């Protein structure tokens, strides 16, 4: 079945140093294993997509990118360069690649302007935000102008993990829990919940967020979030939507890095069949493993088609003609 994948990463020589820089759980050696794949647009990436039946990959800068840059002016310049590089690669492979904008969130209005440029001039499909930006989270008041623009442009924002701003004490002595193994999940789920509980989706009802990694555990926990919210907020609860209502309406998830049928069935059951989308997390995950996982999932063909391409086509407004029909 033809597929669209939307958590697929790239880097450039200028951006690579952020991926193994200060505060990153990945060291130079660990990153080195993936760097070649991240820099490639013409070789192994396309071959892996072909083997897995992935027609279109929506590309994004690997975490954390310029969001780790302390100098806002430099972040603005490098984000623009990254987006221009991506636009050139999409132009070279228009049926195989689409883009998510890389944004300098150190300056919320510059980020909003760069998002406009990426959507209106470069034809990108949304943006990927790699967690906090120098410790600022997306529910904070400084980001209201940014969300206002997102709502106007009506594009999804993909919230991707990065390492926590301050290393929590609980990880001391356990470096194996850092990064994609566990700490990114806690960080990203908490970031999304700051927006849910902080009212971002009430203030900006048009905003749609995408989470990778089968929703960073949130689909599994909806009942508990509602139950404790009802008890903690008491009589006030009547006036507010429950967390599960906000999450179901405003958050979609992708299957990146969780090739497990039990987790997929939970996500579809909790969020609905229109809110789950296939993705890989290339080059950190294997396209063929992800393709095999979705091909063998115990779901109907109609639901499989929605997850593999239909939901992404609708949410990202991807024209079917853009995709390459030659790939089976």
Q: Which residues are catalytic?
A: 281
As measured in angstroms, the least distance from the Cβ of 212 to Mn ion is 6
Interaction with Mn ion in 114-143: which residues (CB under 5 A)?
none
Interaction with Mn ion in 210-239: which residues (CB under 5 A)?
none
**CA distance linking residue 83 with residue 107, whole number of Å:** 17
Minimal CB distance to Mn ion: which residue? Answer: 281
**CA distance linking residue 225 with residue 243, whole number of Å:** 6
> Residue 9 pairs with which residues in a beta bridge?
60
As measured in angstroms, the least distance from the Cβ of 232 to Mn ion is 33
Tokens found for residue 199:
């009212």
Interaction with Mn ion in 272-311: which residues (CB under 5 A)?
281
As measured in angstroms, the least distance from the Cβ of 21 to Mn ion is 17
Q: Are 246 and 196 spatial neighbours (Cβ–Cβ below 8 Å)?
A: yes
As measured in angstroms, the least distance from the Cβ of 191 to Mn ion is 15
**CA distance linking residue 192 with residue 210, whole number of Å:** 10
Establish if 69 lies at the interface with Mn ion (CB under 5 A).
no
SS3 71: coil
Q: Which stretch binds Mn ion (CB under 5 A): 2-10, 46-54, 128-136, 214-222?
A: 2-10
* CB of 34 or CB of 41, closer to Mn ion: 34
* CB of 63 or CB of 229, closer to Mn ion: 63
* CB of 161 or CB of 243, closer to Mn ion: 161
Which string of DSSP letters, residue by residue, matches 274-299? TSEE----TTTS-HHHHHHHHHT-SS
Tell me which H or E stretch contains 87: helix 72-92
Q: What is the DSSP letter of 214?
A: G
* CB of 100 or CB of 146, closer to Mn ion: 100
Which residues here bind Mn ion, judged by CB under 5 A? 7, 281
């Amino acid at each position: 079945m033809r597929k669209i994948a939307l958590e697929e990463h790239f880097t450039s020589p200028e951006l690579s140093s952020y991926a193994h820089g200060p505060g990153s759980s990945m060291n130079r050696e660990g990153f080195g294993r993936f760097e070649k794949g991240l820099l490639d647009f013409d070789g192994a990436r396309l071959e892996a997509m072909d083997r897995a039946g992935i027609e279109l990959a929506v590309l994004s800068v690997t975490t954390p990118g310029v969001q780790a840059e302390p100098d806002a002016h430099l972040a603005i310049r490098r984000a623009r360069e990254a987006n221009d590089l991506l636009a050139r690669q999409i132009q070279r492979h228009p049926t195989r690649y689409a883009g998510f904008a890389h944004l300098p969130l150190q300056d919320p209005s510059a980020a909003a302007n760069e998002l406009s440029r990426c959507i209106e001039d470069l034809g990108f499909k949304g943006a990927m935000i790699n967690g906090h930006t120098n410790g600022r989270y997306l529910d904070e008041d400084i980001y209201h102008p940014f969300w206002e623009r997102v709502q106007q442009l009506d594009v999804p924002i993909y919230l991707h993990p990065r390492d926590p701003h301050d290393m929590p004490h609980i990880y001391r002595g356990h470096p194996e829990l850092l990064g994609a193994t566990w700490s990114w999940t806690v960080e990203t789920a908490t970031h999304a919940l700051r927006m849910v509980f902080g009212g971002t989706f009430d203030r900006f009802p048009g905003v749609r967020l995408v989470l990778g990694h089968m929703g960073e555990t949130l689909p599994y926990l909806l009942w508990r979030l509602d139950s404790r919210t009802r008890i903690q907020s008491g009589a006030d609860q009547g006036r507010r939507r429950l967390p599960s209502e906000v999450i179901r309406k405003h958050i979609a998830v992708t299957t990146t890095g969780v090739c497990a049928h039990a987790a997929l069935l939970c996500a579809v059951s909790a969020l609905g069949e229109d809110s789950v989308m296939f993705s890989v997390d290339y080059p950190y995950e294997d396209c063929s493993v992800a393709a095999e996982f979705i091909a063998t999932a115990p779901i109907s063909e109609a639901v499989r088609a929605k997850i593999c391409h239909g939901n992404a086509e609708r949410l990202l407004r991807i024209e079917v003609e853009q995709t390459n029909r030659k790939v089976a």
